Amino acid sequence: MDSFVHDLKSSRVVFGAGTVSQIPSEIRRCNASSPLFLSTPRGLPQTQMLSELCSNAGIKPARSFNGAVMHTPTAVTLEAMTYLRDVMADCIVSIGGGSVIGLGKALSIRTGLPHLCIPTTYSGSEVTPVLGETENGEKVTRSDSKILPATVIYDVELTMTLPTAICITSGINAMAHAIEALYAANTTPIISLMALEGIKALTEALPEVLSDSSSKSARQRALYGAWLCGTCLGNSSMGIHHKLCHMLGGSYGLPHSETHTILLPHSLAYNAPAIPRQMELLAPLFSGSDGDAVRGLNTLLDQLGAPRALKDFGLKESDLDDATQKALSARYPNPRELQADGIRELLGRAWAGLPAVAST
């Protein structure tokens, strides 16, 4: 067995059905009494629900900020900072997907206030000490243990109305966290076990969600898988897949989970020659893989009707050379050396919607 250092960073997790009712006690546990609720504009009903729960429990909310947007632009964070100070909030509660949670992280690291998350998708951001922020068309990522939220409340009831299409892309996004953790330079045996369990949970749950969107057991298993996968991301370094997704999102405005979904089989295929042991571990998790994890992932995405082409989300073919150079401009740990021709081919196939083919 290889030598390793295992230093797990984690939040307090409250998992189950109906667990959102515990938000007042979790706020008190943080020695807070005046929360600011965060959401996207469409999340207003959810922040109103939280406000009512807290008011009924004797906690007076400091109000809500419903302006979170994708990729956490610093301009929105500064606007929310001003509002937070004006209403004198003493903690932050984010409810929604990765965009909202990102804003909560950005506010928390700037103010030192405790951040409680209530994720309603499978993004995994809620259990990572990672913050990605966008300014002037560039997305910059940093990691700090202080970014990690204090408490995460997973309530499957809040995911029951999540559209199936979002379940799929959000779930594959979560799966990407675990796949990269398997071959991360700082992975450990425990992280690998969590990664494999998380991927297995999602490969089983997502087809069931597709066939029966009202299945609470399937959605709860997907939420469980997303938690494990996100925890893997929070405790391992990111490789080519996450770096490409962050670059494409920040520079070209591509949607987060759809970009992860499209790129994942191609990123895995690029690294395949350098990670034979991890490929052997992954293959049995995908039905129809025939011993090839890339083929199995292609099959799963097709079975789920997942998006496959970056061109469908606004990336132009003329952007590909520039995107390749951006990808090569910052070096980072990856099991296979970054090569211009290989990265250009990866992006080209993902742009066109072609199936991924393992490199040789």
Q: What is the pLDDT of residues 9-25, one digit of tens each?
A: 778 999 999 999 999 99
As a whole number of angstroms, the distance between CA 116 and CA 112 comes to 13
Q: Is residue 133 part of a domain?
A: yes
d(CA 193, CA 281): 10
Query: What is the pLDDT, as a whole number, of residue 360?
Result: 54
| Same domain flag for 112 and 182 | no
Mean pLDDT, range 58-70, rounded to an integer: 91
108 and 30 in a common domain: yes
Residues 143 and 178 in one domain: no
Question: Does residue 238 surpass a pLDDT of 90?
Answer: no
Query: Is residue 8 scored above 80 in pLDDT?
Result: no
Residue 51, domain extent = 12-159
Do 213 and 315 fall within a single domain? yes
Give SS3 for 149: coil
**pLDDT band with cut points at 50, 70 and 90 for residue 1:** low
Within this chain, do residues 170 and 92 fall inside the same structural domain, yes or no? no
Tell me, yes or no, whether 125 and 180 share the same domain.
no
Residue 316: pLDDT band by 50, 70, 90 thresholds?
very high
- Domain membership flag for residue 330: yes
Q: Which two tokens stand for residue 312?
A: 């469908």
**Which ranges in 120-215 belong to alpha helices (H)?**
164-182, 189-211
- Same structural domain, 51 and 152: yes
Q: How confident is the model at residue 109 (pLDDT cuts 50, 70, 90)?
A: very high
What's the whole-number mean pLDDT along residues 273-300?
Answer: 94
CB distance 237 to 185 below 8 Å: yes
Give the H/E segment covering residue 16. strand 12-16
Is 358 inside any structural domain?
no
Q: Are residues 202 and 324 in the same domain?
A: yes
Between CA 111 and CA 114 the distance in angstroms is 9
Specify if 147 maps to a domain.
Answer: yes
State residue 123's pLDDT score: 81
* pLDDT at residue 4 is higher than 80: no
In a domain, 2, yes or no: no
On whether both 127 and 217 belong to a single domain, the answer is: no
**pTM of the predicted protein model:** 0.91
With bands split at pLDDT 50, 70 and 90, how would you rate the model's confidence at 234? confident
pLDDT cut 70: percent of the chain above it: 99
Mean pLDDT estimate for the chain: 93
Mean pLDDT of 57-84: 93
Domain boundary, last residue among 107, 132, 159: 159
Residue 323 phi/psi, 5-degree rounding, is -65, -35
CATH number for the domain spanning 229: value is: 1.20.1090.10
**CATH number, domain containing residue 137:** 3.40.50.1970
184 with 147, same domain: the answer is no
For residue 45, what pLDDT band results from cuts at 50, 70 and 90?
very high
Q: How many CB atoms lie within 10 A of CB 135?
A: 14
DSSP 336: S
Report whether pLDDT(112) > 90. Answer: yes
**Do residues 268 and 307 share a domain?**
yes
Give the total number of structural domains in the chain. 2
Do 271 and 336 contact (CB within 8 A), yes or no? yes
Model pLDDT, residue 193? 96
Instruction: Reduce the DSSP state of residue 216 to 3 states and report it.
Output: helix
Last residue of a domain, one of 115, 133, 159: 159
Q: Give residue 359's pLDDT.
A: 61
